[in-house]
Chains A and B, each alone.
Chain A
Amino acid sequence: MNMANATLQINHVTKRFGAGETQVMAVRDVSLTVAPGEIVLIMGPSGSGKTTLLSMLGALLKPSEGTIALHGTTISALKEDRLPDIRLRQFGFIFQDFNLLSALTALENVALVAELAGVKYGTAHNKATEILIELGLGARLHFLPEKLSGGEKQRVAIARALVNDPTLILADEPTANLDSKIGHEIMRLLRAIAKEQGRSVIIVSHDQRIKDIADRVLWLEDGQFKEMKTRAVDPVCGMSIEGEKAAAIFEYKGTTFYFCAKGCRDEFERMPEKFQEGGTGMA
């Protein structure tokens, strides 16, 4: 990869919380380069440091050590008061719970972000309308979030992330609250954003399906990127787990299923037919 053209480059980033005996090292010496138009999927178990890493990539949190550069500008060294502008114009955020403003319509949710960036009211509304129509929400412009389906809310959130033409989209579990069909639609959209518009996309997710659209899949564990091993999927919660590190195992019709927690195994035991299609087991 040509480092000079990289959208994002992080070098030896470490994040520590607390001090002394209670100190926690959430991210340890992580390095990563993301090219324009590239989709990077970061996976890992809960508590592995994914959210902390995503927060640092989005200039919401400063690393304890190391540097984060966006288009060659070391944003981790910038003063706090310069970061809101960077976040507003250079990043697009997509959240697991959509996080739309409940009092504003779909159109206003998107236009507000453009207005925050200094775009005039009329222009901001025109641009927001254009993006929402492109995303198939032309008939939902004046609907409040409570009147939208999960998929529609996430498309509004994507429109909001795109309205200021960012070069980097950061998505936190973008398909977690969506059913399979809508989740697939959102994945297709994210791929189009990367490949047709040349924006880099970093996704943090447990959703194995996103692997299909990712250019690179990284496994974060104990705050460090590790090699992806042969993995199984917990059929109940969908989490990717190493067979050796599974919290529980269950044999069903000649197949071994692996679980991230005993609770998932118990649930599977009660209704195996409901879950056996969702996971990957080893015969």
Chain B
Amino acid sequence: MSLAWRNLFQDKTRLALSISGVALAVMLTLLLNGLLTGMYVQISSYLENAPGSIVVAQEGVTNLLAATSILPGGAAASVKSQGAAEIVPILSQFIILDLHEKKQPAYLIGYDPKIGGGPWNMAAGREPRNDKEVVFDRTLAQRHGVELNETLEILDRDFIVVGLSEGTSSWMTSFIFIRKSAAENLLRAPNATSFLLVSPSPRFDETEMTTRLREIAKVEVVPKREVMENDVRLFGKFFSAPLQLMVAIAFLVSALVVGLVIYTATMERQCEYGVLKAIGARNGVLYRVVALQAFIATGVGAVIGVAVAFGAAQLIMAVYPQFLVVLEPRAVMQALVTGLGIALLAALFPARMLARLAPAEVFRK
């Protein structure tokens, strides 16, 4: 232990380099994972906070965000007749906003403020009282300098911003809310409904209610959790692969940095390790010294990386509020395990080199 410790601390620049390499990798791994988790949270935030546990959509539609759904007329009445306790209708559509000459995609939700399905956390202002009022996502408003009582054009119609909602942002798109009747006018779809958010009556559990609702013709009945998973899966398809690739690259780069540093340090002390072997130290003792050096460097680096990641996450969210970085305990554990993996890789090659070291060579140096 003492030899590993002393070897490490003798060259402080090298130690700092090694620790920084691991810290950077762990931080990157955590941040990228945190961004991915944040993205999933944002994608499913509306349904997570909306009422009901079952979603009724147009036949063949199993997600909220990536499909257009128009329910057949009378769907709500049919759902009611099957024993639903609460039915929240919404009319939703992806739209492109022109905010101070910048194009911005948004997800428009038309809802009835008396029934629900609108913003769940108001940061400022109030919900819309008439068809000319809109609740904007606070982050989206902040990014584009939109203020309360400002008049905005949405699909050629003027709306007054009467409220700012919290937790409805996403770096891809944000939610904006108007009354359902306003949405019907805006989308030129009178009496149309995209989705029904259904709560079963106490007489039925969710599975029984779902089975009963599936008897209704030309609608898709999907548990809310499944719709959320479908949304996450759909968007994850686009973003998780490149993010995971970046995580893998970060891991490889840091493994190479630490591996190179430990390998160079071992090579430089090759003669000293040869002396130890000649004196009678077994390979196992030398492996332990090298492995301990790698573990100390990566252990310290990993802890620093986790701390820096938490700081960087706060900074990113402050500067770019559309990004949500969620650092879960599970991800922190994963990052620490990543550090362990880096240490193992970093120790592997020097250990092999030591195994091949011939002790008799010390007399020839």
Interface residues of A (CB under 8 A from B): 51, 54-55, 58, 60-61, 84-89, 91, 93, 95, 97, 99, 101-104, 108, 112-113, 116-117, 160, 172
Q: Which residues of A contact B363 (CB under 8 A)?
A: 51, 54-55, 60, 95, 172
Interface size in chain B (residues, C-beta < 8 A): 24
Query: Is B319 part of the binding interface, using a Cβ–Cβ cutoff of 8 Å?
Result: no
Instruction: Write out, one digit per residue, whether chain B residues 1-14 have a CB within 8 A of any chain A CB (1) or not (0).
Output: 01100110110000
Interface of B: prevailing SS: helix
Q: In the assembly, what is the distance between CA of A113 and CA of B362, in Å? A: 16
Option from A60, A102, A104 in Cβ contact (under 8 Å) with B278: A60
Nearest 7 pairs of A and B residues by beta carbon? A88-B280, A103-B6, A87-B280, A60-B360, A55-B360, A99-B275, A103-B10
CA distance A85 to B278 in the complex (A): 11
B10, closest chain A residue (CB): A103
The answer to whether A87 and B278 touch across the interface, beta carbons within 8 angstroms, is: yes
Q: Does B285 contact A (CB under 8 A)?
A: yes
Q: Does B271 count as interface, using CB distance less than 8 angstroms?
A: yes
| Residues B281 and A116 in contact, CB atoms below 8 Å apart | yes
Look across to chain B and name the residue whose beta carbon is closest to the beta carbon of A58.
B278
Instruction: List 10 contacting pairs A-B, 8 Å CB cutoff, sorted by A.
Output: A51-B364, A55-B360, A58-B278, A60-B278, A60-B360, A84-B277, A95-B363, A101-B276, A104-B2, A113-B279
- Judge whether B280 and A103 touch: CB under 8 Å: no
Given contacts A101-B3, A101-B272, contact A93 B360 (CB under 8 A): no
Give the contacting residue for A108; candidates B2, B9, B282; CB below 8 A.
Answer: B2
Question: Which B residues lie within 8 Å of A102 (CB)?
Answer: 10, 269, 272
**B272 proximity list for chain A (CB < 8 A):** 99, 101-102
Q: Which of B6, B277, B365 has the most CB of A within 10 A?
A: B6
Chain B 279-296 near chain A by CB (<8 Å), digits 1 or 0: 111100100000000000
A84 and B10 alpha carbons, distance in the complex (Å): 28
- Chain B proximity of A177: nearest CB distance (Å): 13
Cβ-defined contact, A104 with B3, below 8 A: yes
| A190→B335 CA distance, assembly (Å) | 56
A88–B285 alpha-carbon span in the complex (Å): 13
B359 interface hit (Cβ, 8 Å): yes
A89 to B281, CA, bound (A): 11
The answer on a CB contact under 8 Å between A116 and B10 is no
Cβ B280 vs Cβ A60 within 8 A: no
| A84, B285: Cα distance in complex, Å | 11
CB contacts (< 8 Å) of A89 on chain B: these are: 280
The distance from the CB of A168 to the nearest CB of chain B, in whole angstroms, is 13
